[in-house]
Structure 1
Amino acid sequence: MTATTTSRPDPDGLVHRAVPYRDPEHQAAALTAPVAGALEAGRRALVVVDPRCAAVLRRSLGHDAGVEFRTPDRMHSAPPFTVAGRWSRAVRGALADGASGVCTVGQPVELPGADAAYWTRLDLALSHALRELPVELLCCFPDVEPDRAHAGALHDEFLVDGAPVPSGCRRDDHDLLAENPQCPPDELGPAIVTLPVTLDDLGSMRRVVERQAELSGLGPSRISDLVLAVNELISNGVEHGSGHPVLRMWRTEAGLVSEMSDAATCRLAFPGLAAPPVAGNRGRGMWLASELSDVLQVWTAEDDPGQVTGTVVRVTMSPP
């Protein structure tokens, strides 16, 4: 194989490209040059691909190349927006550790409950979560129709033989989200807590959350994180929503679920995915709740018409 060098990511933002492949060997060959180039330039590499491709890529790069491989089933064991948050934290962790940038690689794989809507929403969420970070995000897809057309709708460019090629069919993110809605909130049965909250109730609400977290077996730091996350969500409903949000809580196999529902519709694009500007005062609560909890899910009447009325936000925290 002749090594080719791709253009380096803009140091101030994301480069997001689709990588067509024919089989795992061809996929690994297409990824070797950009991943190796990133490592040579002092960047990190995070690769989440099918195990067959990962095995070939390890041999091509060398097992001591310094690439971080993660398995798709573990990385994607959550709703798309939560997974995008995991990618963002991994990238920010590498940057904080001294990396000048990160080359990340992913691909849709067969997972329980992961349909086409899941992967579309994840791709769009990754674009938003990583947009201001020095990242080269490479998304692999089988080079056949209709996968080629679908990838072109999500990406400005393809990476073909090491060179960027315009896709020519990139579509609007919000149109794609509307066509690929997430599933409506699961019915969780009778809640252990149903608590309408106003501004005067925030203190007692926090005590309720703390007590339920203790009864659910969460450790002290997890309890503090959950109380802060729920407080941020409920405060958003009080200050920026209807003023009268409702808190509901359930104990499930996944952990303690806390839900904020409000009659007002959240109009933040991709809520909770990207850290807001330091000088801003909107969106910080949702982002902080996402950072503190294991899973954050948001349903809005605007982003998912017909699924909910107003806004529903759930966070899940697992013991300990």
Structure 2
Amino acid sequence: MSGLHESFPGPREIRLDLPAAHSAGRMARQVVARFAEREGLVDDELSTLELVVSELLSNAVDHGGGEAAMEESDLKSDVRMTLSLAFRPDRWELRVCDQGGGDPDAMQPFLERDGLPDLSDDRGRGFFLLLDMLQDLRIVRSPDEKGLEVIAVRHVELGGA
């Protein structure tokens, strides 16, 4: 497995504040991919990060206040989502916040690692897939208390610098 191919002293981060629209999610995925490549993430590890970013931003748009807006002009109000990605020597940590309200406790059944998701339910299948790729996936109240924050952590194998 490939991973980060340089050593560095501490976390390096990128933070994005975005309108809760799919068009902004597409742009954010490109920015994150460039940042991750610059930080040394390669191959399958880069693809995994891109998939996690895509799933979490899509969830924020569809279920977190964006009402599935395709473009910023489709939003009925200034609904935002934020993304932060930090690289540490042994892992990356991605945080996505929305403004769609919600109860973190109500989301916990979707984060159980045992069993299959309810295929008749439109929600939860993405989390099921993410749980297989990540070492940690949590949902908490967002810092601004307007919605939820999803925290995704994946350990990466470090290569030589």
TM-score range, shorter chain: 0.5 to 0.7
**Partner of residue 288, structure 1:** 129
2:148 is aligned with what amino acid?
A: T
Provide, for residues 142-166 of structure 1, a one-character-per-residue CA deviation record: whole Å limited to 9, x for no partner. xxxxxxxxxxxxxxxxxxxxxxxxx
How many Å apart are 1:287 and its aligned residue? 2.4
SS across alignment from 1:201: helix
Kindly, what percent of the aligned residue pairs are identical?
25
**Are 1:269 and 2:91 an aligned pair?**
no
Distance 1:201 1:308, change over 3 A: closer
Asked if the contact 2:11/2:88 (under 8 Å) is kept, the reply is no
How many Å apart are 1:252 and its aligned residue? 2.4
Distance 1:269 1:251, change over 3 A: closer
2:128 is aligned with what amino acid?
A: W
Provide, for residues 64-98 of structure 1, a one-character-per-residue CA deviation record: whole Å limited to 9, x for no partner. xxxxxxxxxxxxxxxxxxxxxxxxxxxxxxxxxxx
TM-score after normalising by structure 1: 0.35
SS across alignment from 2:96: strand
One of 110, 132, 151 as aligned partner of 1:314: 151
**Partner of residue 241, structure 1:** 64
Alpha-carbon distance in 2 for matches of 1:216, 1:190: 8
Distance 1:269 1:231, change over 3 A: same
1:318 is aligned with what amino acid?
A: H
SS across alignment from 1:242: coil
Q: Compare relative contact order (CA 8 Å, sep 6+) and give the higher one, 1 or 2.
A: 2
1:296 is aligned with what amino acid?
A: L
Distance 1:190 1:311, change over 3 A: farther
SS across alignment from 1:278: coil
Larger CA Rg, structure 1 vs 2: 1
- Listed as ranges, the gaps of 5+ residues in structure 2 are 1-9, 67-79
Alpha-carbon distance in 1 for matches of 2:91, 2:129: 19
Alpha-carbon distance in 1 for matches of 2:12, 2:42: 25
**Partner of residue 39, structure 2:** 216
Distance 1:213 1:294, change over 3 A: farther
Provide, for residues 234-262 of structure 1, a one-character-per-residue CA deviation record: whole Å limited to 9, x for no partner. 11110011113211122224422211011
1:314 is aligned with what amino acid?
A: I
Asked if the contact 1:247/1:261 (under 8 Å) is kept, the reply is yes
SS across alignment from 2:119: coil
**Partner of residue 227, structure 1:** 50
**Partner of residue 76, structure 2:** none
**Partner of residue 5, structure 2:** none
TM-score after normalising by structure 2: 0.65
Alpha-carbon distance in 2 for matches of 1:242, 1:190: 29
The count of residues paired between Structure 1 and Structure 2 equals 128
Alpha-carbon distance in 2 for matches of 1:284, 1:298: 15
SS across alignment from 2:53: helix
Distance 1:271 1:300, change over 3 A: farther
**Partner of residue 259, structure 1:** 95
SS across alignment from 2:24: helix
**Partner of residue 195, structure 1:** 17
1:234 is aligned with what amino acid?
A: L
Asked if the contact 1:219/1:319 (under 8 Å) is kept, the reply is no
